[in-house]
Amino acid sequence: MAGEKSKNSGEFGEKIISNFLQLIGWTSSEEGITIDCVNEQHNRKSKSHGIDGYYGYKSELLKQNTQEDILISIKHTTNEYPSSPTSLFKGYLKDISEGMECFPFDAKYIDRKIPQNIQERKIFGVIFWISQASDDSKDIIADVSNFNNTDKIDYGPVYLVDNNKLNFLLQSIKYAQNKYDDYTFEYHSTGFNHTNPAESKESGKILPVQLINTNILPIRAQQDGKECLTVFLNEGFNEDSLKRSLGFTKMLANAWPTRTFILYPDYNHLDGENTVKRVKTIFNDADFTSKVVVSSYNENIASLGRD
Q: For residue 300, is pLDDT > 80?
A: no
Give CA–CA dist 237/242, Å, rounded. 7
Beta strands 182-186 and 216-223 are: antiparallel
Q: List, for residues 228-251, the tens digit of each pLDDT value.
A: 999 999 999 999 999 999 999 999
Q: For residue 4, is pLDDT > 60?
A: no
DSSP 3-state assignment of 27? Answer: coil
Q: Do 51 and 72 meet the contact criterion of CB atoms below 8 Å apart?
A: yes
How long a stretch of residues is the chain? 307
Q: What is the pTM of this model?
A: 0.92
Find the mean pLDDT for residues 33-56: 94
Averaged pLDDT score across all residues of the chain: 90
Range scoring the smallest mean pLDDT among 42-51, 82-91, 184-193, 196-205:
196-205
pLDDT at 254: 79
Identify the H or E element spanning 243: helix 239-253
Q: Do 71 and 23 meet the contact criterion of CB atoms below 8 Å apart?
A: no
Q: Do 236 and 271 meet the contact criterion of CB atoms below 8 Å apart?
A: no
Q: List, for residues 68-119, the tens digit of each pLDDT value.
A: 999 999 999 999 999 999 989 999 999 999 999 999 999 999 999 999 889 9
β-sheet bridge partners, residue 123: 69
Contacts of residue 103, Cβ cutoff 8 Å, sequence gap at least 6? 35, 69, 71, 109, 123
Distances (CA, A) of 31 to 40, 52, 100, 116, 259: 25, 6, 16, 23, 40
Give CA–CA dist 139/49, Å, rounded. 28
| pLDDT classification of 281: cutoffs 50, 70, 90 | very high
Q: For residue 167, is pLDDT > 80?
A: yes
